[in-house]
Structure 1
């Protein structure tokens, strides 16, 4: 009986993770891809694509912000991502702040679609994970807090 409850809860979390804003709208990846979004000539693989151009981070961890990021991630991210290097639905988070610049991370988690369409490394990851990361509607403060939580996972003190 406990197993069926766990399976039902897991399914509900996965469905909520990818819930569309418009209930009657079918998801169509080709509808979100236009000539403008597939033009990779202006894409910056270090920064990604989005409004974040220069994210200032301190050498030491902001524990308050990391705690807030853990709370937000617990609601919006952890049903698909592990805090280790293991893949769940999406890739694990361990080491992400060592591989990616803060601007790239914040641009990706606040607006993943343009980067999925343009970034060759993200496209390769999509071939492994087989699921597009949905836009979770994170605001700037939530995204910055999640970045700080990722830094904590990577051992920043």
Structure 2
């Protein structure tokens, strides 16, 4: 029985390594696209998406933050901790102090183009080794998650 488990584990590891090398080959062949005009137009402070400005108000919306916490527990907590500790993805502590609200909203709702164009996100991908999947969150749900992130960072 132990031998069977070892064989299965080795098979999984081989599969994971081979699919990772295929992904790296795909990434290296698509690298010339990063020199396209759209990449040079990318604003790392704004991100890539439809949000140019997000009005967060002067005070934390506690009800919205509670709803955001529920959504985050369902959609985000399997990969992110709410501390600075990395799980699969980076921890969330301090994210609202590091990035503007519209950047966060653009990343939550539009992660793929941002990962493809943002050097900081590409460096993060090198550390985490897993792309953030598009969770297909509504703008309203993304805004609630942003409010929870603000609460997590101590906003009142």
Which structure: larger Rg?
2
**Where has structure 1 moved over 4 Å in runs of 4 or more?**
28-31
Q: Which runs of 5+ in 1 are unaligned?
A: 1-27
Give the Cα–Cα distance (whole angstroms) in 1 for the partners of residues 35 and 136 of structure 2.
19
Residue 106 of structure 2 corresponds to residue 107 of structure 1: yes
Mapped partners of 1:124, 1:103: distance in 2: 21
Deviation digits for residues 96-127 of structure 1 (CA, Å, limit 9, x no counterpart)? 00000001000001110000000000000000
Equivalence for 2:39 = 40
Unaligned 5+ runs, structure 2:
1-22
TM-score by length of 1: 0.77
After TM superposition, give the deviation of residue 81 of structure 1 in Å: 0.2
Normalised TM-score (structure 2):
0.78
Aligned to 1:154: 153
Q: Is structure 2 residue 91 aligned with structure 1 residue 58?
A: no
The CA deviation string for residues 35-61 of structure 1, in whole angstroms up to 9 with x for no partner, is 489542110111100000110011210
Closer/same/farther in 2, CA of residues 85 and 108 from structure 1, 3 Å limit: same
The Cα RMSD (Å) is 2.1
* In 2, Cα distance between equivalents of 1:42 and 1:70: 34
The alignment covers a number of residue pairs equal to 130
